[in-house]
Amino acid sequence: MYNATEQFAEINKANVAQATKLAALAIENTEKLMRLNLSAAKVALAQGVEGATAAASIKDVQDLVAIRAKFAESGVQTAMGYSKSLYEMTSEAQAQYAAFAEESWSAYTKGLASWVEKASKAAPAGSDVGFNALKSTVAATTAAFDQFQKATKQVVSFADASVRAAAANASKAAAPKGRRAA
């Protein structure tokens, strides 16, 4: 016999589990971002102290030019390293959230299909047409969402490849040019 109360209790348990998992994922990614930013702040402070110490020991214009070039190169490398780490962290988080969304959608559609099936068995005679239409709608929605997921994965993959190629080109462009092999 179909028991709507039990069915809704199961759905609520699943929703609480999903919300808990999402919250844990969000906290984990926030912690990673905070660690990255704290590390970047420490590096910036260390570079600032090093720059101030070097600036205090300048004796002529050539020293100033050399120190300026050194710290400009160092700053660019630090910024690129931070950007790369941030991008990788963001890509990883995006993949985790996408996997979570797929898992949640799959569980939702299975639960909905199960509910429709149980409800249709307990429905009065003559309601077959309505339940068949509902089943068809659920199947069509699931198929449409699957197509949307595939298209989204392709776009994300293309964007990731483009960003990685741009970063590689930027790294090459920012590499010191004065050092050539003889």
179 versus 59: the higher-pLDDT residue is: 59
Whether the predicted pLDDT of 153 surpasses 90: no
> What CA–CA distance (Å, rounded) separates 86 from 80?
10
pLDDT, one tens digit per residue, over 18-36 is 999 999 999 999 999 999 9
The number of domains in the chain is 1
The residue assigned the tokens 């994922």 is 25
pLDDT, one tens digit per residue, over 65-87 is 888 888 888 998 999 999 999 99
In a domain, 181, yes or no: no
> What CA–CA distance (Å, rounded) separates 96 from 125?
45
93 versus 4: the higher-pLDDT residue is: 93
In a domain, 57, yes or no: yes
- Domain span holding position 36: 4-174
In a domain, 92, yes or no: yes
Backbone angles phi, psi at 58, to 5 degrees: -70, 135
Three-state SS string over 144-181 comes to HHHHHHHHHHHHHHHHHHHHHHHHHHHHHHHCCCCCCC
Length of the chain: 182
In a domain, 118, yes or no: yes
In a domain, 75, yes or no: yes
In a domain, 117, yes or no: yes
In a domain, 147, yes or no: yes
Q: 3-state DSSP call for residue 126?
A: coil
17 versus 158: the higher-pLDDT residue is: 17
In a domain, 37, yes or no: yes
pLDDT, one tens digit per residue, over 167-180 is 777 767 766 555 44
